[in-house]
Structure 1
């Protein structure tokens, strides 16, 4: 078991799936592959990837759980079941609604995720370089409006919904985004 807080619910993917809500952040603890190892080393964090959960109906009307994410090339919807064998944590969406606005917030969340997915967004290796330089030597390189990384994509959706975190790095690494969100509510592990 890795880095689990007492307030988190630890469960398998099958147990966690019905508890995950549209708008929740999925923070993956990648362990295999050179890129995941490099991200872990540079950011000093177990988190190597993020995406935002969204429940969508398929052409048959069946609801499926997907992750709106950057996949290293572009923005995509990936069935969350693709991460069932990986460890990941679920952070509740940081935008809260008053009781009268819960349905409206849900619709706004779906709308913002779908709006972000509508246009192709290139993955940005320059942003990876910027994150690495900042994490290693605390120097911020000039930015670019072209492309995003997974955690920047997730943060942009939350910002469109009104989230305004203090001191979130730009672009944020997965560890920066999860730190701004606090403690995960669910930890998915192979038990």
Structure 2
């Protein structure tokens, strides 16, 4: 069976997890969060922010090799072991088996989807790449509300990080489009996935 990887990128708070949960019906498509491939807080050499915490927006905090190998295994074999990461603890807390069953689409989302694209293509995977275009101010508010509700980090850290992400968003979008992602609204992206 031919299977396709759909990478969904966008700034934090843009709705990547939401769109994958709406589109992943378990019959034709399943979802995978690339955030589950973050490295543990005590992993040696993690890049640090001026606030003295790991820079979770730096790709060096993320295990891209494991993510691509897991995606390759999933698309080839129809099942793979996927780590379970707890953002509030900044560490992996276990793993789970993800099975595709009859599904032929894997929807993978996360802030490092951009970095995943070239590596996935180099691994011979069939990949489609979508960037969620949504208003920056709305992304900021959605992200802050979500992170406060989930107690991801202390509030001051969330505000500082949120402001930094807000400022970086145009550069991130430019990098995604240059890498080969197609920019689109939530509605259009969801429609394109449902028409596959």
Same fold (TM over 0.5): no
Kindly indicate which of the two structures has a greater share of residues assigned to helix. 2
TM-score, length-scaled by structure 1: 0.25
